[in-house]
Amino acid sequence: MSISFNYSNAGLREGELEKVRPVIEAAYNTLKNRTGAGHEMLGWLDLCDTYDKEEFERIKAAAEKIKSQSEVLVAIGIGGSYLGARAGLEYVKGPFYNQLPNKNGVEVYFAGNNISSDYVSYLLDIIGDRDFSVNVISKSGTTTEPAVAFRIFKEKLEEKYGVDGAKERIYATTDANKGALLGLAKEMGYERFVVPDATGGRFSALTAVGLLPMAAGGVDIDEVYRGLTDATRKYENDDMMTNDTTLYAALRYIMMTKGKGVEILADYNPSLTMLGEWYKQLMAESEGKEFKGVFPTAAHFSTDLHSIGQFIQDGARIFFETVLWVEKANKEISVPNDDKDVDGLNFAAGKTLQYMNEKAMNGTLLAHVDGGVPNLIITLDELSDYTFGEVLYFFWKALGISGYALGVNPFDQPGVEAYKKNMFALLGKPGYEDAKAELESRLAKVL
Ligand code: PA5
């Protein structure tokens, strides 16, 4: 297995883990026995065994078709219909994945995750007159951001290839039985993939939602599933002390009860930046309810040691830090010797950047612990297609236990609807007329 968990720097007092054992083990069993709130949304728990094999093969075939027809794929979606695929591409292929030679895939750009006019027009410039395809991903089919983006890119496709040609380049990932996008996809004959009912948005990255954009971009999704399967088996372990997902959930619970209401997920590798964004959604949408939860944020070191590093070292002691460390670099690069040695760095000549990064991580760990920041460390052997499957499952399972220990339903997201309703009303969507008048009168008083 390629993930390990270390809590020796958490500053635990004698007996603290034992004290939370009953609540954590109860939460573990609630998840395992599918008896808790939201249990109908646990499709991710055994996804490696239950995911539709025929759909998996169709995803691979569709990815090959996209590669044969296009240079670019525009993946349209937001939240759970966006973050996992981008996290996967960057995790496996790095932050420059679109520019890599021999990437065995098309360039994949994401749209529909904002409503910025500038963003869309830059993306249209990037595509230029190159061949492109579109994967529109929305379970509901009515989410404003992706719906607006899909209109724009569908129109471009139809202008370029005609309505029939466009149909060959549009892939719709949506609900199997209902929704506006399903209706359109059926009517137009777009190839369709399913967002399964039992996997909510933030648990859907390893269904067609994330798999198609990742496969089109050159990620080996068979390997991702091998990692997912191994992680599923490994974390089917009832013993809290030898199951890292349960231990991580226990440590998060202890931190919260000690008043550490913020978790900083700190990576030392830009390939993990989007995984940090994915983690923020997973934790925040799952736990931030009923005025409870640990607020998740992400930091990217060593970059952020030169910005928020000051606060982490010396600011208000309201958080704990979870370091996401990668043991092995995919490619080794060494520090060159320099005859002039003006920066005084010749002492490190010949050392690898990975070695230096590790010393930065070790030094930061000790400094932050000295500064009163409890540290947890999640170590990944390496970044690969295989470990991506493992790491998603690691966080899903830990979160499921942690959410039940907190006493919330970790598998719904009622709060996300509030802004959507207000925005629909203010935009004048039919059916929201009364709300519109009330919201406009409130805004008139405050803006
Ligand atoms: O986790 C969630 O449920 C949300 O982030 C959704 O994925 C997001 O709002 C997009 O919804 P939809 O796929 O219906 O467009």
Q: Is 306 a catalytic residue?
A: yes
Nearest-CA neighbor of 90 among 205, 207, 169, 208? 205
**pLDDT digits over 286-303, tens only?**
999 999 999 999 999 999
CA–centroid distance, residue 18 to ligand 1 (Å): 38
The DSSP annotation for 137-200 comes to E-SSS--HHHHHHHHHHHHHHHHHHHHHHHHTTEEEEE-SS-SHHHHHHHHHT-EEEE--TTS-
CA–centroid distance, residue 126 to ligand 1 (Å): 26
The CB of 300 under 6 Å from ligand 1? The reply is no
pLDDT of 198 reads 92
The CB of 387 under 6 Å from ligand 1? The reply is no
Q: Is 285 a catalytic residue?
A: yes
Residue type (1 letter), 259 = G
Q: Are strands 262-267 and 319-326 parallel, antiparallel or unpaired?
A: parallel
What 8-state DSSP symbol labels residue 377?
E
The CB of 79 under 6 Å from ligand 1? The reply is yes
Q: Is 368 a catalytic residue?
A: no
Contacts for 278-284: CB closer than 8 Å, 24+ residues apart: 278/83, 278/84, 278/86, 278/87, 278/202, 278/205, 279/395, 281/79, 281/80, 281/83, 281/202, 282/202, 282/395, 282/396, 282/399, 283/399
Residue in 14, 187, 306, 445 annotated catalytic: 306
**pLDDT digits over 333-348, tens only?**
999 999 999 999 999 9
d(CA 7, CA 248) in angstroms, rounded, equals: 8
Query: Atom 12 (ligand 1): residue with closest C-alpha?
Result: 138
Query: Atom 1 (ligand 1): residue with closest C-alpha?
Result: 201
Task: Note the pTM of the prediction, 2 decimals.
Answer: 0.95
pLDDT of 29 reads 97
Nearest-CA neighbor of 196 among 205, 188, 187, 183? 205
d(CA 59, CA 135) in angstroms, rounded, equals: 11
What 8-state DSSP symbol labels residue 413?
-
Q: Which atom of ligand 1 is nearest to the CA of 78?
A: 10
Provide the angle, in degrees to the nearest 10, between the axes of the packed helices 385-406 and 221-234.
40
Q: Which atom of ligand 1 is nearest to the CA of 81?
A: 7
**pLDDT digits over 404-436, tens only?**
999 999 998 888 778 888 988 998 988 888 899
| Cα Rg of the chain (Å, integer) | 23
pLDDT of 1 reads 63
**pLDDT digits over 190-217, tens only?**
999 999 999 989 999 999 999 999 999 9
The CB of 416 under 6 Å from ligand 1? The reply is yes
Nearest-CA neighbor of 266 among 294, 305, 315? 305
Q: Which atom of ligand 1 is nearest to the CA of 420?
A: 9
